[in-house]
Amino acid sequence: MRPLISALAFALFIIAPALAAPPIAPPSGTYTGEGLTVVLKRGAGDTYTGTVSLNGRTYPLDADFDEDDGLTGTFEVGDDEFDFTAVLKGGTLTFTTGGTVYKLAAPASAQPANPLAKKPPANPLDKNPDAKPALPVEGALKLKRLSIKDPGINNIEAVSFLIPEGWKHEGGITWMHDYSILANLLLKITDPATGAQVEYLPMQNFSWIDNPPFPMQNFSNYMGNLIHPPIRDAAAFVRTMYMPQALPHLQRAKQVEVERLEKVEQQYAAAVAQAPAGGQASVYSGRVRYEYEREGKVWEEDVYIFLSYYTGQGMTIWSVSSAYSFRAPKAADGGSGLDKAAPVLTTITNTARVSQDWFSGYMYVSQLFRDRQMQGIRDATRLSRMISENAEHTRQLYAQAYADRNASQERINRSFGEYIRGVETYTNPYESREVQLPAGYTDAWVNPQGEYLLIGPGGHDPNVGSTVEWRRMKMVE
């Protein structure tokens, strides 16, 4: 009997692979994990198209499904193609390329059904397929990704934000080829319901020479910088630089408060510590609050200013490196509507992310400016072609500068969020990075499309009845 059992076991071992379930054709959807995102769209027959994304770069893919081999195909990187295979099993897509294996979570629609699991509550949309989905519970906040593209650089994404669903925006990237800060983000993001708004203000570099060899008028252009003596006070800066044009409504406003943001300054100081040889570096950060009447309501407005200074050899080069304004009408009971809106407005500013491709293109144009190749800057068509031809080179050239900038900005955002209060820091499991969101919610969720959902007491699983996978985020201690 024992030899028979051994022979039977051996036979089962041999035929076991033949009894294994064949690969499953992956349904259309977004698969994410280990920093990789694969978007698949099933076409006619067993053909697929889509994209594969890693580290902010996205590449097109084509593939075919075979019952023996699973999904096989290629993705394009410039003029090159690379092979990959993908097999869906048990809610996990195993994506293999170049000897590297990624385990990607399948969307909810691709998850196998467990017959023993409790059935989720009925989806109210099933009874009315034309109904628009509402937030799962009253008081929830959904944040969507806003992408600002730059027509000046091949219409690529320049910067992105998280903004509440339903908020509007106007403005974008403005190029100013005669100045050393060549591009400015001049943008307003507004809540149509309350009027709460964040506005990004112009940035500029300034120069001041103690004993100039020839007369120099204030606000004249000297080698791309505006001539003006250093201003080391937020209220004076707003009054001098912004009230004449960018913020003319503040000319009639009452100045309520001026506050120096010393904790934020500490982070900016680290970012500008490398002063020119023989010089000294310093920073100033401040907030000015105003009140004024508009359309029969009393409005409040906070203007945030971040200034840096390099002094040496009889010259000061100084800059407004960041400036924006929060504004909102006062509450009906006379309370501060701006203080209530500040956490959401802070989330918008703190989630701003400059794209690496745009940053590299901007740095390339800055080099042209420094090299006095003005004709290459003014000719938009030629400039776009030059940037495209040198895209990968400039991306690699400025990769470290981009990484350093992001690390510095995240430290500044954390300090600013701690100053504002009313915000909390979470970890995005799809991107393994921190994000600051308004406080006061019990659960925070994110999906692969970069949308966030904050839910209050009572709880709710947004995966119920959803075709998009949501993951709960952990709060950073």
Bigger pLDDT: 264 or 290?
A: 290
188 in the same domain as 115: no
Cα dihedral across residues 387, 392, 398, 399: positive or negative: positive
Contact yes or no for 192/167 (Cβ under 8 A): yes
The pLDDT value recorded for residue 251 is 96
pLDDT in tens, 344-391: 998 999 888 888 888 887 887 777 766 654 454 455 555 556 555 555
276 in the same domain as 408: yes
Question: Per-residue pLDDT averaged across 443-458, rounded?
Answer: 86
The pLDDT value recorded for residue 156 is 87
Domain end marker among 418, 439, 461: 418
Q: Is the pLDDT of residue 392 over 80?
A: no
362 in the same domain as 217: yes
Question: Which residue do the tokens 């000046």 mark?
Answer: 152
Q: Is the pLDDT of residue 147 over 80?
A: yes
Radius of gyration of the chain (CA): 27
In a domain, 276, yes or no: yes
Token digits for 81?
């193609």
In a domain, 127, yes or no: no
Element (H, E) at 41: strand 36-42
| Burial class for 342, CB neighbours closer than 10 Å (0-12, 13-18, 19+) | buried
Question: Per-residue pLDDT averaged across 411-430, rounded?
Answer: 67
> Helices 380-389 and 356-370, interaxial angle, to 10°?
120
CA distance 30 to 243: 47
CA distance 287 to 90: 53
CA distance 25 to 40: 11
**Is residue 69 left, alpha or beta, with left meaning phi > 0 and alpha meaning psi from -120 to 50?**
alpha
Question: Per-residue pLDDT averaged across 33-47, rounded?
Answer: 85
111 confidence band (pLDDT: 50, 70, 90): low
CA distance 238 to 247: 8
258 in the same domain as 379: yes
In a domain, 452, yes or no: no
Domain containing 34 equals 23-119
177 in the same domain as 107: no
Bigger pLDDT: 39 or 273?
A: 39
Bigger pLDDT: 35 or 372?
A: 35
User: Closest Cα to residue 256, out of 284, 231, 287?
Assistant: 287
CA distance 36 to 56: 10
In a domain, 466, yes or no: no
In a domain, 438, yes or no: no
Quote the longest CA-to-CA distance of the chain: 110
401 confidence band (pLDDT: 50, 70, 90): low
pLDDT in tens, 50-87: 999 887 788 899 999 988 788 999 999 888 899 999 99
**Rounded mean pLDDT of the chain?**
79
335 in the same domain as 252: yes
- What separation in angstroms does the CA of 126 have from each of 123, 135, 196, 299, 462? 6, 16, 36, 44, 16
CA distance 34 to 101: 10
In a domain, 457, yes or no: no
349 in the same domain as 219: yes
Q: How many domains does the chain have?
A: 2
Q: Could you tell me how many residues make up the chain? A: 477
411 confidence band (pLDDT: 50, 70, 90): low
CA distance 179 to 202: 12
User: Closest Cα to residue 113, out of 237, 215, 24?
Assistant: 24
Q: Is the pLDDT of residue 287 over 90?
A: yes
Q: Is the pLDDT of residue 92 over 60?
A: yes
191 in the same domain as 332: yes
SS3 at position 45: coil
Provide the whole-model pTM.
Answer: 0.63
113 in the same domain as 243: no
255 in the same domain as 183: yes
227 in the same domain as 312: yes
Strands 225-227 and 204-209 come out as parallel
Domain end marker among 418, 440, 469: 418
Contact yes or no for 150/173 (Cβ under 8 A): yes
Contact yes or no for 338/302 (Cβ under 8 A): yes
In a domain, 451, yes or no: no
In a domain, 144, yes or no: no
20 confidence band (pLDDT: 50, 70, 90): very low
Count CB-CB contacts under 10 A for residue 158.
Answer: 23
Token digits for 272?
């500008």
* Beta bridge pairs of residue 92: 89, 105
SS3 at position 218: coil
Domain end marker among 366, 383, 418: 418
SS3 at position 42: strand
Domain of 92: which CATH number?
2.40.128.30
255 in the same domain as 327: yes
Q: Which amino acid is at 235?
A: A
